[in-house]
Structure 1
Amino acid sequence: MKHNQTLKLLISICFLLVTIYGCTKLDSKVYNQTTTFWNTPEQVEAGLAPAYISLRGFANGDIFSLQEVTSDEIIVPTRGSDWYDNGQWQQLWLHTWTSNLGFMNGAWEFIYSGIARINLIKYTVSNLKPIPAGLDTTKVFAELNTLRAFYYYQALDLFGNVPVVTDFNADPASLKNRPRAEVFAFIEHELKTSLPYLNRTVDKSSYGKVTKWFGFALLAKLYLNAQVYTGAPRWNECMVACDSIINANIYGLSNNFFDNFVIENEKSPENIFVIPYDAKRGLNGFNIQMFTLHYQSNETYGLGASPYNGFCSPADFYNLFDSQDKRRDMFLVGQQYDRSGNPLRDKQVNLPLIFDPNIEVISSTDPKFRLVGARSRKYEFTPDTPGDMSNDFVVVRLGDIILIKAEAALRNGAAGDAIATLNRSYGGLQGGGASLRSRAGLAPFAALTLDDMLKERAREMAWEGCRRTDLIRFGKYLDARKPAKQVSGAFRTLFPIPKAQRDKNPSLVQNPGYAE
């Protein structure tokens, strides 16, 4: 986001960032430094910024890789020696990972460092004496607790049985796993008790920040997966949470699907919560264009550096899109051209630069293998940068909420309501007015099965970081698939507690099925 007023305050709180990023335990010296800053409601609001800054590692980070590359949606083939990386990408696709794999520890560190920063800010605000005049600490804590619930939702989904830490001064070496159902209950309680105090305003001042609608969206996602997380479905509660967003008539479906992902996507009427990025202002960390495009795609899109030729979608996923589905344009296939319209060739192997979605093996030295896989352009590419993009990364949008409500209704025995939810148009105070199917150029649903529902989620939500969770919920995650993946053991629906974390804290118990 280019107009978010909170971001303008970041320079003024650099000392706070250094303090938070450099400390794992709060001491009196740090506290005395920070209290000289927290004197007004405006300063406290600025002091919340580190809780949001830590989110910038979310877009195409370790959690994204765990969610997508372990699913049928994204594969990272080994092209010659490129992208082998000690076999780590193959382990994700093939479901042969161990607790030593770096993605596991990276995701864990992302989650718990974010939680620690929020706990530190809560501790600091709790100990302000006096409380700044005009500051409503109840609202401050509701905002922080909801953001912390987002981190815990990631931990619940990926690792299941995890520690719950609410005290910044807790000894990290003493933390113990909590059963998955208890973690679910903790998140549910945090969200439900925070919702009455969350900001309901949607404008520039709340952009990229926690609002009431983000809280309801998290609750809807939690309830959608309740049967996986706890063994008991919560379809009615899921629909109620979705309706709390839909019936507020604030958000609408963008008439153009891709408007949600353009460089200036803060104008989208659909996006409920985003992580702001801006390459020109140094808000970096989102660079999916570099991961998916071919080494020479900079000649097509005017990029400031050569991409890495990694992430792509295989043919089975690409073919879920009907040829008339406008959303299929999120993929690059076929002959590629330079900015003048001349056909490109892969200069290193002297082959036409033609993207072929068919991937028959996971690794090959064949020169043609450099060109396999459908490449994603769902997010508009940002030119003239070394790789970082200025699109804000979409965490939750109305399209997802509509799909969640429809699935909950379908699973609850109300197929007619599910069909109506998917087929109707959605306009709101922010604009919009399309239906999911009309903006895709497709006819409305006349009938609906769970298989239809999963396919529609694939088409609408591709490359948005939720495919693994969807496949688990639909019982498809463990299936064999091309290329090379065999049926996985049931324990693979949870990732292992990272070995690096268990080495530091022997109290952590490994998830079933993993030896380390």
Structure 2
Amino acid sequence: MKILNITSKIALTAILASSVFSCTDLEEQVIDEVIGGESQNPESAVAAAYAQMAEGTFTDHGNVWGLQEYPTDECMLPTRGSDWGDGGKWRALTELTWGTNNAAVSSTWNALTSGITRSLTAIEALQANPDFTNQELFMAETRGLLALYVYNTLDLFGQAPYRDLFGDDNSLVILQADTEIDNLITEVESIIPQLAELGEQQTYNGRFTKQAAYALLADMYLNRAVLKDRYNASSSFNFTETAVDGDGTDMDKVIYYTSLLINGNFQLESNYFDNFALDNGTSTEMIFAVVQENDNIRRSDNDFAYMSAARGQKQSPDNRGTNASCVETEFYNTWEGNHDDPRFHRYYQYDDGTWFMNDGTTGSVPVQDARPDTGKPVFHFNRGLLAGQQYGPLLDGQGGYVMDGSRIAVSFLYMEKNATVPMDFTPELNFNNPLEAVFTQDQINQGVRNFKWEFDPEYGNGSSQVDVPLYRLGGIYCMRAEAYFRKGETGSALSDINMLRTSRTREALFDNAPGVALESLNETSLYNEIGFEMYWEGYRRKQMIRFGTYDEAYTAKAATDPYLRVYAIPQETIDVADYIAQNQGY
């Protein structure tokens, strides 16, 4: 099935007011690239529901990912001198000072509710065409997508608009997280028999399969206690509550569903960073992902690589970063004593054997790869967390790199928007006002940068062929380890954590040494290990809430009240939909 181009006829706020709440009068045009299908054509409608995932919902740094990462101790997007002010919308996420009119919060709400809209529209189209080929399979997949969009909306906003197309009354309802989470779990469990096994019936990791359902169910059960008691002031969530079907507890269900995946056909990658490489579609860990194509036709996003790189880091003579996001000090410090962990950093080796050491000792590197459209050379930076003084290529002023003979010269780098400031990525973040994430022009170098995601230089800075995993095997091990730990089965939790540590290996420069196993595990080390595996994958906010650390003070953030565990419903939505009540505290 082709992913289709979607053209909205009206603004997202109007879509929310009319199309989510009136599925039979959808004010949105779905344009098929090939067959010119209508929104009620099952193929185009299902494709549109899938396409919403890739239209920024889960791939743009400012939507779901940003709301899950920027408020945490793992990641921030500060104002950097003259850049990234944007009305304060980014620093508000870091400072937890968003209100009811934050543009990033509104964008995320609109993206998710558009996903709900498109899923409901696809379900209607399938209901109206019972003879459509594989109708039962696509109906199950679309119901799975609907559950995914609703779950993410409930997680971030506490409520979600919905119409029940399977009951007698399909009038608009506003779902509440504390009551709807059980219904969502029941819904996803009910569609498993109709879903395909991954790889069967022409499915792949971009389709909602049985394995995607298992992962989503594990996620929902792991966070069920939080969604049912969001404002618990002491963060004493009941993780041992009886499961929805009465068979065991929430943590038993997490263990059950994660074990189905761990004992399945997936395998941990020895090179951790292969999960985030240009060709990661073939990763043996990938369970369910947003599939991206850098074909200059369909939308894709390079944000997770582009945002953290500095403007002076030139992946090709025509590519650069944007000097935006960085790692927070608290998270970087959790790696103390673990810098030899294969997930922390990886040096790049060129085909001729040259290692890019990024310390001034590598004078040049070979011209190995080139952009297919321009033929200009590509420079490969190291992967993982980059701290300290940075080195790389310079431009020659004539559209190319400064060369050393036939090789790319490697030089000491300075910040592009303040050429007197060395590109020294400091772990410390020293704001003039400790509670405001604002750097002066002389401070724009600060912050460790994350090169976990490979930069795709083809077709400019904004597009990428790197698939975005929503669920991968490493995260499944983290879920099971946490569930074991919450059940008091510390030995089993330690075993899962050590599987993650020892399955990853370092580069040949370090003789491909595997990670070192832990001898013991407590709550702090478990918390840190989950961070080592899942950093910058949209996982941290939920993790912090579960562990009771989200309300604490950390960089550029004072201690906060529990109501900030949920975002405000955008005021623009409240203004046109008076049947939605604003969330507590706003």
- TM-score grouping bracket, smaller chain normalisation: 0.7 to 0.9
Task: Name the CA distance, whole Å, in 2 between partners of 1:448 and 1:440.
Answer: 22
Whether 2:428 is the aligned partner of 1:358: answer: yes
Equivalent position to 1:345, from 402, 411, 414: 414
| Aligned equivalent of 1:292 | 308
| Aligned equivalent of 2:48 | 50
Task: Name the CA distance, whole Å, in 2 between partners of 1:350 and 1:425.
Answer: 42
1:359 is aligned with what amino acid? L
Aligned residues: 484
Structure 1 counterpart SS, 2:141: helix
Task: Name the CA distance, whole Å, in 2 between partners of 1:353 and 1:325.
Answer: 25
Task: Name the CA distance, whole Å, in 2 between partners of 1:364 and 1:481.
Answer: 15
State the 1:136 CA deviation. 3.8
* 1:303-338 deviations in Å (ceiling 9; x for gaps): 634432111112221122222122111112222222
Point out where structure 2 has 5 or more consecutive residues left out of the alignment: 230-237, 240-249, 346-383, 394-408, 507-511
Whether 2:268 is the aligned partner of 1:253: answer: yes
Task: Name the CA distance, whole Å, in 1 between partners of 2:500 and 2:569.
Answer: 43
Task: Name the CA distance, whole Å, in 1 between partners of 2:169 and 2:317.
Answer: 46
Written as runs of structure 1 = structure 2, the 5 A alignment for 1:388-467 is 388-424=463-499, 435=503, 441-467=514-540
1:211 is aligned with what amino acid? T
Kindly indicate which of the two structures has a greater share of residues assigned to helix: 1
Structure 2 counterpart SS, 1:460: helix
CA separation of 1:425 and 1:106: change in aligned 2, threshold 3 A: closer
Written as runs of structure 1 = structure 2, the 5 A alignment for 1:360-375 is 360-361=430-431, 362-363=436-437, 366-375=440-449
CA separation of 1:28 and 1:263: change in aligned 2, threshold 3 A: closer
Equivalent position to 1:308, from 322, 326, 338: 322
Two-structure CA RMSD over aligned residues (Å): 3.2
1:510 is aligned with what amino acid? Q
Task: Name the CA distance, whole Å, in 2 between partners of 1:277 and 1:473.
Answer: 31
Written as runs of structure 1 = structure 2, the 5 A alignment for 1:122-161 is 122-128=123-129, 131-132=131-132, 135-161=133-159
Task: Name the CA distance, whole Å, in 1 between partners of 2:131 and 2:217.
Answer: 31
Equivalent position to 1:235, from 251, 275, 278: 251
| Aligned equivalent of 1:334 | 388
Task: Name the CA distance, whole Å, in 1 between partners of 2:566 and 2:124.
Answer: 32
| Aligned equivalent of 1:472 | 545
State the 1:91 CA deviation. 1.4
Structure 1 counterpart SS, 2:469: strand
| Aligned equivalent of 2:198 | 201
* 1:351-387 deviations in Å (ceiling 9; x for gaps): 3222112102145564441101111111111124321
CA separation of 1:409 and 1:28: change in aligned 2, threshold 3 A: closer
Written as runs of structure 1 = structure 2, the 5 A alignment for 1:181-196 is 181-196=178-193
State the 1:263 CA deviation. 0.3
Whether the 8 Å contact between 1:325 and 1:440 is mirrored in structure 2 is no
Task: Name the CA distance, whole Å, in 1 between partners of 2:36 and 2:296.
Answer: 26
CA separation of 1:79 and 1:487: change in aligned 2, threshold 3 A: same
Task: Name the CA distance, whole Å, in 2 between partners of 1:494 and 1:412.
Answer: 27
Normalised TM-score (structure 2): 0.76
1:343 is aligned with what amino acid? F
1:414 is aligned with what amino acid? E
Structure 2 counterpart SS, 1:396: strand
* 1:53-111 deviations in Å (ceiling 9; x for gaps): 11111112311111111111111122223112222222111111111111221111111
CA separation of 1:46 and 1:202: change in aligned 2, threshold 3 A: farther
State the 1:38 CA deviation. 11
| Aligned equivalent of 1:430 | none
Whether the 8 Å contact between 2:423 and 2:445 is mirrored in structure 1 is yes
Task: Name the CA distance, whole Å, in 2 between partners of 1:47 and 1:290.
Answer: 32
* 1:102-141 deviations in Å (ceiling 9; x for gaps): 122111111111111111111111112x614xx3432221
State the 1:162 CA deviation. 2.9
Whether the 8 Å contact between 2:551 and 2:559 is mirrored in structure 1 is yes
| Aligned equivalent of 1:118 | 119
Structure 1 counterpart SS, 2:67: helix
State the 1:147 CA deviation. 0.9
| Aligned equivalent of 2:577 | 505
Normalised TM-score (structure 1): 0.86
Whether the 8 Å contact between 1:176 and 1:509 is mirrored in structure 2 is no
